[in-house]
């Protein structure tokens, strides 16, 4: 298609030569209607091809955006938790929305530019050389100078656009955080300060963008100037050539027309190099993200684990976060199949870290974790995760119906199963009292529900999952005493026959646990049943006395 556009552009320039020589100079009657007809036909073909090509190119561009976005999202979903936590979600969003389009813009511009403008320039230059090669040579003198200007501008653009893109990421991070924390901002009256912070970022971004704009804007007039000098030189040379009648008037006109027509695509080509640099900077960022390989992966040839009993064993497990925080310094314990083991201890001791290692959100740096006697690193991650249900501290819900949120861990569950899970989690009554019942959409992160309601939906989700291993992280912390009692009763039902590892701050909720481990500073300080630990009079006894006093 682009070859047709370029070919027809060159044909139109070429047609000027016979038009002038045959019609005006020779006064040929056939040429009088043949040439206008040829002009109309060439224009028609060019217009049609132009339309098809611009639609095709837009499609290619948008397809690239869509494909890049899908690849990025897939990568984000498979990425290690550690990586996701290290990068602010705003940066991920800006790569997804902004960099992906910048990249495709640049690719489609480059393809169109190189193919259509490049072909036009080559063909039009061909016409110029065909009409008069010496003249064409004169017209080309500006070319190397223009190339130099472009290269410098390109380098500069790449540098500033990298800075602008980084600032876009920062801005996106700032915005997502401020929107999430609107209540905090209002409660502490920090609106004006937040505006100042965002203003700083917006202004810095504008500054970098304007630097890129200035560089781009300077390239075109500079090259225009070089171009006009070349055109002036060619006209001067051609005028002399005409006087010595080396060149017909038609050939001269055709030459000038080709030169003027070549001018626009040449201009676009020079711009192209500059905007290509912008795209390359975006590509750097997108590919850097696509290239990050997750570290928590299936071992080669790993087979799925079929969890039958569901016992968990920690053998001298050590773990440090990427910033060097040693969170676990050799943890050994057992959760026998079907039993309930509780982790308690001071804040920051390593309880959540311990639980996060079981679904392999992170891999231990030393030691082993076994499920049913098999090292979980030797089997597929998917099969390990399928054997467990997690109820996390933050009660995560998506902006969807209550039914879909409950069924998240088991897509395709029947309505009766969802309702049974809701009943088991003491959530059924409040759900059916909502105007739309199970079809109620919960709002972003579940804002339309109370903290306790959110928690109960998460517990219902775990019920429906019906997995042999249950990981409860502060499962009842968001509940009032009454619903906590209800939940305790239902949880006991859920725990029956399952292996449960539970973290609780309210020590009263875990007095029935088969074994309690007190985790302090990355180690297990003491273990035993509630009564044993109280009798021992150690850290647990102190924590319990403190909790009772509150």
> Closest approach of Cβ 174 to ligand ATP, in Å?
21
Query: Quick check: helix, strand or coil at residue 130?
Result: helix
- Residues 488 and 473: their CA atoms lie apart, in Å, by 14
- Residues 452 and 459: their CA atoms lie apart, in Å, by 10
> Closest approach of Cβ 511 to ligand ATP, in Å?
18
Site for ligand ATP (CB under 6 A): which residue of 243, 245, 347, 481? Answer: 347
- Give start and end residues of each alpha helix (H) in 399-480: 402-406, 415-424, 428-432, 451-465
User: Tokens in use for 273?
Assistant: 């190099």
Considering only residues 192 to 251 of the shown chain, the ones binding ligand ATP according to CB under 6 A are: none
> Closest approach of Cβ 513 to ligand ATP, in Å?
16
Site for ligand ATP (CB under 6 A): which residue of 277, 353, 455, 500? Answer: 353
How many residues sit close enough to ligand ATP to count as binding (CB under 6 A)? 12
> Closest approach of Cβ 149 to ligand ATP, in Å?
49
- 546 counts as binding ligand ATP under rule CB under 6 A: no
Site for ligand ATP (CB under 6 A): which residue of 351, 454, 465, 498? Answer: 351
- List, in sequence order, every beta strand (DSSP E) within 427-534: 469-473, 499-503, 515-520, 523-528
Contact (CB, 8 A) for 125 and 10: no
- 359 counts as binding ligand ATP under rule CB under 6 A: no
With respect to ligand ATP, which residue has the nearer C-beta, 345 or 409?
A: 345
With respect to ligand ATP, which residue has the nearer C-beta, 139 or 502?
A: 502
Beta strands 469-473 and 388-391: pairing type? parallel
Q: Within its chain, how far is the Cα of 349 from the centroid?
A: 33
CB neighbour list of residue 306: distance below 8 Å, 6 or more residues apart: 383
> Closest approach of Cβ 468 to ligand ATP, in Å?
24
- Residues 38 and 472: their CA atoms lie apart, in Å, by 80
- 404 counts as binding ligand ATP under rule CB under 6 A: no
> Closest approach of Cβ 345 to ligand ATP, in Å?
6
- 156 counts as binding ligand ATP under rule CB under 6 A: no
> Closest approach of Cβ 473 to ligand ATP, in Å?
8
With respect to ligand ATP, which residue has the nearer C-beta, 132 or 455?
A: 455
With respect to ligand ATP, which residue has the nearer C-beta, 173 or 353?
A: 353
Query: Quick check: helix, strand or coil at residue 480?
Result: coil
Contact (CB, 8 A) for 336 and 376: no
- Residues 336 and 41: their CA atoms lie apart, in Å, by 85
- Give start and end residues of each alpha helix (H) in 425-480: 428-432, 451-465
With respect to ligand ATP, which residue has the nearer C-beta, 238 or 327?
A: 327
> Closest approach of Cβ 167 to ligand ATP, in Å?
26
Phi-psi region of 316 (alpha: psi -120 to 50; beta: other; left: phi over 0): left
Would you list the DSSP string of 287-356?
A: HHHHTPPPSS-PPTT-B----SS--EEEEEEEEE-TTS-EEEEEEEEEE-TT-EEEEE-STTSSHHHHHH
> Closest approach of Cβ 484 to ligand ATP, in Å?
18
Beta strands 388-391 and 374-375: pairing type? unpaired
- 352 counts as binding ligand ATP under rule CB under 6 A: yes
Q: Which residues pair with 319 in a beta bridge?
A: 328
With respect to ligand ATP, which residue has the nearer C-beta, 17 or 353?
A: 353
CA-closest candidate to residue 256, choices 244, 269, 242 = 242
Q: Which helix or strand (DSSP H or E) is residue 367 part of?
A: strand 366-371
With respect to ligand ATP, which residue has the nearer C-beta, 419 or 520?
A: 520
- Strands, sheet with 374-375, edge to edge from the N-terminal-most edge strand: 326-335, 312-320, 366-371, 374-375
Which range, of 55-63, 146-154, 346-354, 457-465, touches ligand ATP by CB under 6 A? 346-354
- Letters for 288-327 (x = contact with ligand ATP by CB under 6 A, - = none) are ---------------------------------x-x-x-x
> Closest approach of Cβ 331 to ligand ATP, in Å?
11
> Closest approach of Cβ 428 to ligand ATP, in Å?
30
- 471 counts as binding ligand ATP under rule CB under 6 A: no
> Closest approach of Cβ 351 to ligand ATP, in Å?
4
Site for ligand ATP (CB under 6 A): which residue of 227, 350, 452, 468? Answer: 350
Site for ligand ATP (CB under 6 A): which residue of 154, 265, 349, 359? Answer: 349
- Residues 502 and 392: their CA atoms lie apart, in Å, by 10
- Letters for 502-541 (x = contact with ligand ATP by CB under 6 A, - = none) are ----------------------------------------
- Letters for 49-88 (x = contact with ligand ATP by CB under 6 A, - = none) are ------------------------------------x---
With respect to ligand ATP, which residue has the nearer C-beta, 228 or 325?
A: 325
- Residues 487 and 490: their CA atoms lie apart, in Å, by 5
Which residues here bind ligand ATP, judged by CB under 6 A? 85, 321, 323, 325, 327, 347-353
């Amino acid at each position: 298609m682009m070859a047709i556009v370029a070919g027809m552009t060159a044909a139109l320039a070429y047609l000027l030569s016979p038009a002038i020589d045959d019609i005006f100079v020779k006064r040929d009657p056939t040429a009088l209607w043949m040439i206008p007809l040829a002009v109309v036909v060439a224009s028609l073909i060019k217009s049609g091809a132009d339309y098809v090509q611009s639609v095709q190119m837009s499609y290619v561009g948008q397809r690239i955006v869509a494909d890049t976005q899908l690849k990025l999202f897939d990568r984000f979903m498979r990425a290690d938790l550690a990586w996701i936590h290290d990068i602010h979600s705003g940066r991920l969003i800006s790569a997804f929305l902004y960099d992906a389009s910048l990249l495709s813009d640049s690719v489609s511009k480059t393809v169109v530019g190189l193919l259509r403008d490049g072909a036009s320039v080559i063909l039009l230059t061909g016409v110029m050389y065909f009409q008069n090669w010496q003249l064409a040579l004169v017209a080309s003198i500006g070319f190397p100078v223009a190339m130099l200007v472009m290269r410098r501008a390109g380098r500069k653009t790449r540098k500033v656009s990298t800075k602008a893109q980084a600032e876009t990421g920062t801005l996106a991070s700032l915005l997502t955080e401020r929107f999430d924390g609107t209540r905090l901002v209002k409660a502490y009256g920090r609106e004006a300060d937040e505006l100042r912070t965002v203003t700083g970022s917006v202004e810095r971004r504008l500054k970098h963008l304007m630097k890129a704009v200035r560089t781009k804007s300077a390239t075109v007039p500079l090259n225009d100037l070089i171009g006009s000098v070349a055109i002036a030189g060619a006209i001067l040379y051609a005028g002399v050539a005409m006087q010595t009648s080396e060149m017909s008037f038609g050939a001269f006109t055709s030459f000038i027309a080709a030169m003027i027509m070549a001018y626009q695509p040449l201009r676009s080509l020079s711009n192209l190099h500059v905007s290509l640099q912008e795209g390359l900077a975006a590509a750097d960022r997108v590919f850097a993200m696509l290239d990050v390989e997750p570290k928590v992966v299936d071992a080669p040839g790993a087979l799925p684990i079929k969890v039958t009993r569901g016992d968990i064993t920690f053998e001298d497990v050590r773990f440090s976060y990427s910033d060097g925080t040693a969170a676990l310094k050799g943890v050994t314990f057992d959760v026998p199949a079907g039993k309930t083991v509780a982790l308690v201890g001071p804040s920051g001791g390593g309880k959540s870290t311990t639980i996060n290692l079981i679904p392999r959100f992170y891999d231990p740096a030393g030691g082993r974790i076994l499920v049913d006697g098999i090292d979980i690193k030797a089997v597929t991650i998917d099969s390990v995760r399928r054997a467990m249900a997690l109820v996390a501290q933050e009660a995560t819900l998506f902006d969807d119906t209550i039914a879909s949120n409950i069924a998240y861990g088991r897509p395709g569950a029947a309505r009766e199963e969802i309702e049974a899970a809701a009943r088991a989690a003491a959530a059924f009554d409040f759900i059916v009292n909502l105007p739309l019942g199970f079809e109620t959409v919960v709002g972003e992160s579940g804002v339309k529900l109370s903290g306790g309601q959110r928690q109960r939906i998460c517990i219902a989700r775990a019920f429906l999952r019906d997995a042999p291993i249950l990981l409860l992280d502060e499962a009842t912390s968001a509940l009032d005493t009454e619903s906590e009692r209800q939940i305790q009763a239902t949880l006991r039902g859920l725990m029956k026959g399952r292996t449960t590892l539970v973290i609780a701050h309210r020590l009263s909720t875990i007095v029935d646990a088969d074994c309690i481990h007190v985790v302090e500073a990355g180690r297990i300080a003491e273990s035993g049943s509630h009564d044993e630990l109280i009798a021992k009079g150690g850290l647990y006894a102190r924590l319990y006395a403190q909790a009772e006093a509150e």
